[in-house]
Structure 1
Amino acid sequence: MCHIKKGFILLLTLTFLLSAIIYFSDFSLKIAVPPRTLYTNVVNQIRSYYMVIKFPSGHDNQTIFLAPAPTPKAHQQVQQRSIQISKQTTDISVHYHVAHPSNYHFILDEPEICSQWDPFLVLMVPVAPHQVGARNAIRSTWGNESTVQGKAVMTLFLVGLTGGSDSEKAQQQLEEESRQHRDLLQSNFVDSYFNLTIKTMVIMDWLATRCPQANFSMKVDSDMYLNLENLMTLLLAPNTPRQNYITGMVMWDRPVVRNKNSKWYVSEELYPEPKYPTYLLGMGYVFSNDLPEKIVEASKEIKAFNIEDAYVGACVKHVGITPSSPPDPSQFRAYLGQYNREDFLRVITTIIGSPQQLIYIWKDVKRPTKRDQI
């Protein structure tokens, strides 16, 4: 009987030990791999309160640094830290979860230029800080036209913060360029592909606060040919609205890219709808100058995502405005293919291959012909 009791007690002890081992093993696994709901909540909290600094590598981005999302007061310190990190790489991108332009301020500015020029049309060119060649090519071609069909035209360039090991030298060069040409604006966001939405919203803010007297504005990329005669003919046409008007190459029913390997990837968290609202392709779109203030106000309500032209489309939709198709849609072209002078005489804007090509095309388009001399 005594042996039976001892055996029973031993069996209970072994059962208890085995249960304890299973329990703690299961517990440790749960800690290592949290439930999906808990994981999702944690990630969402991080995304809500932090900005993510990433170093691109091929098609993928490897997160290496988290910092508190910048407030207006703390923004300068965050940018200083971003610049320090950028010295370790030549390609840094910073994702801000609030793209409203009030989070940023101008380092280089021309706040009085519109009161001096009183422009009918303002051309705003977002460009990378190091792309001096692109800026100079524009300055010697379509950006050099200050009067078109009797209307004043003004061209300005917008850049963000420089990055890389020679950022101090690059900043000094930008400041010298600004003193020389008086056409350079710089805001304190990190200049990168992923921050194009910020860049565009800063442009809208500048137009709303520094240049409300202009009739029209155009956001036009630095790799574009622009035929200002044709653009001005469009803007001066009697049926062209002077308010709530935006036109260019219209994009309808464009699906949101969910492929994480694409540079156009947008998560469902940032934009849940499967298709974008109607928008204008970002290479060049023109709008009545009452819209910038309305777009900036709408951006307070619309969560920012990294496809800047689609984001502007979302803001325009929020305001209750539908983008207009131009009278001749073929005048806003992505590519014209092999160079033909007649094609460039007909378009308003199209993408070109290099600053040198822009200069060559411009000279050829502007050269006098026998027909012009008759």
Structure 2
Amino acid sequence: MAIKNIWHSLAQNRGPFIHQIKTAFFLLLTLTFLLFAVAYASDFTLDTITFPQTWFTKIINETHHKNPFLVLMVPVAPHQVEARNAIRSTWGNESTVQGKAVMTLFLVGLTGGSDSEKAQQQLEEESRQHRDLLQSNFVDSYFNLTIKTMVIMDWLATRCPQANFSMKVDSDMYLNLENLVTLLLAPNTPRQNYITGMMMWDRPVIRDTNSKWYVSEELYPEPKYPTYLLGMGYVFSNDLPEKIVEASKEIKPFNIEDAYVGACVKHVGIAPSSPPDPSQFRAYLGQYNREDFLRVITTILGSPQQLIDIWKDVKRPT
């Protein structure tokens, strides 16, 4: 996977977050990831990690999704149990939409802190109960969101190539699956080389070292990012993950995950598609109006409880 070249380029950078990125990408690029939550964090070593080849088959057999039409991949911090449970009781509970099989999976990194062993045990119990957790051996932090996304892409490419479409969707999102599946089933929606969501054009690279979105010139020398989709939720044909992973061998990693995916997509030679109705991918809807939530595909919410409350109202009989 061109490990040597990427590791060499990483070693030359000195950004405030580069140590975390170096460590996690080294793990990613040496294929020591994609773990089902079956081991304590303290046990993760290159020698003891095992990869259960049949785990995804077990998942889809249990949920009767042998050929999922759409896979929803939710990156989430290990401690965000409330967010996961809110999704499980709302849009993540929808396994069939318009006759198409839909699957929701959560990706977490390593638990950290003084109580990491207890937190890992809790994750394992949650996994046994719900069978929807993937865990990878990188430190789960904001600066490693790019790593998290690339693990998602690699998992989709290697473990779930039979899906038609996939979506990376954040854990604080409302998702209207009826509208999303309608979009994906439309005759003019491409089945290959397709990625759509909330379009981000001509976005400048932040050079202010005090900003959480700071990216050094060493990591990304261009003054503007290529067109990309806002990371809150973007959907893509499932042929793209493999191409994005391949592109990542050539694109130096940086910590703005959605812009990094945009850079990989550009490298592949694919242009993101504006959705037929751009208003269906909204950052915020403002004051609650039921009709707005009936029209959108996705939007950011303020809390897991808000998702539950809005979902109940949207789904109530009229």
- Report the TM-score, using the length of structure 2 for normalisation: 0.87
CA shift at 1:105, angstroms?
Answer: 1.5
Q: Which has the bigger relative contact order, CA under 8 A and spacing at least 6? A: 2
Distance (whole Å) between structure 1 residues aligned to residue 91 and residue 101 of structure 2:
13
- Match 1:95 to one of 9, 12, 21: 21
Alignment of 1:296-315 (within 5 A): 296-315=245-264
1:106–1:187: 8 Å Cα contact kept in structure 2? yes
Q: Which one has a bigger Cα radius of gyration? A: 1
Distance (whole Å) between structure 1 residues aligned to residue 175 and residue 11 of structure 2:
41
2:34–2:151: 8 Å Cα contact kept in structure 1? no
Distance (whole Å) between structure 1 residues aligned to residue 272 and residue 13 of structure 2:
34
1:99–1:197: 8 Å Cα contact kept in structure 2? no
CA shift at 1:97, angstroms?
Answer: 6.7
2:295 is aligned with 1:363:
no
- The equivalent of 1:212 in structure 2 is 161
1:98–1:304: 8 Å Cα contact kept in structure 2? no
Deviation per CA, 1:252-291: give whole Å up to 9, x if none: 1000000000000000000000000000000000000000
Distance (whole Å) between structure 1 residues aligned to residue 172 and residue 286 of structure 2:
15
Q: Which amino acid aligns with 1:164?
A: G
- The equivalent of 1:221 in structure 2 is 170
- The equivalent of 2:93 in structure 1 is 144
2:56 is aligned with 1:111:
yes
Q: Which amino acid aligns with 1:264?
A: W
Against the structure 1 CA distance between its residues 46 and 301, is the aligned structure 2 distance closer, same or farther, given a 3 Å change threshold?
closer
Q: Which amino acid aligns with 1:111?
A: F
2:9–2:252: 8 Å Cα contact kept in structure 1? no
Large movers: runs of 4+ above 4 Å: 49-52
Q: Which amino acid aligns with 2:29?
A: S
2:72–2:104: 8 Å Cα contact kept in structure 1? yes
Distance (whole Å) between structure 2 residues aligned to residue 174 and residue 211 of structure 1:
23
Distance (whole Å) between structure 1 residues aligned to residue 179 and residue 163 of structure 2:
19
- The equivalent of 2:275 in structure 1 is 326
- The equivalent of 2:208 in structure 1 is 259
Distance (whole Å) between structure 2 residues aligned to residue 271 and residue 49 of structure 1:
13
Alignment of 1:208-287 (within 5 A): 208-287=157-236
CA shift at 1:114, angstroms?
Answer: 4.5
Alignment of 1:52-91 (within 5 A): none
Distance (whole Å) between structure 2 residues aligned to residue 217 and residue 142 of structure 1:
15
Deviation per CA, 1:16-36: give whole Å up to 9, x if none: xxxxxxxxxxxxxxxxxxxxx
CA shift at 1:49, angstroms?
Answer: 7.0
Distance (whole Å) between structure 2 residues aligned to residue 280 and residue 97 of structure 1:
26
- Match 2:11 to one of 48, 54, 61: 48
- The equivalent of 1:73 in structure 2 is none
Against the structure 1 CA distance between its residues 345 and 260, is the aligned structure 2 distance closer, same or farther, given a 3 Å change threshold?
same
Number of residue pairs matched by the alignment: 289
CA shift at 1:48, angstroms?
Answer: 1.1
Distance (whole Å) between structure 2 residues aligned to residue 333 and residue 365 of structure 1:
17
- The equivalent of 2:43 in structure 1 is none
CA shift at 1:107, angstroms?
Answer: 2.7
Alignment of 1:128-167 (within 5 A): 128-167=77-116
CA shift at 1:108, angstroms?
Answer: 1.2
Q: What residue ranges of structure 1 are gaps of 5+ in the alignment?
A: 1-44, 55-60, 67-93, 370-374
Q: What residue ranges of structure 2 are gaps of 5+ in the alignment?
A: 1-7, 38-54
Distance (whole Å) between structure 2 residues aligned to residue 150 and residue 46 of structure 1:
47
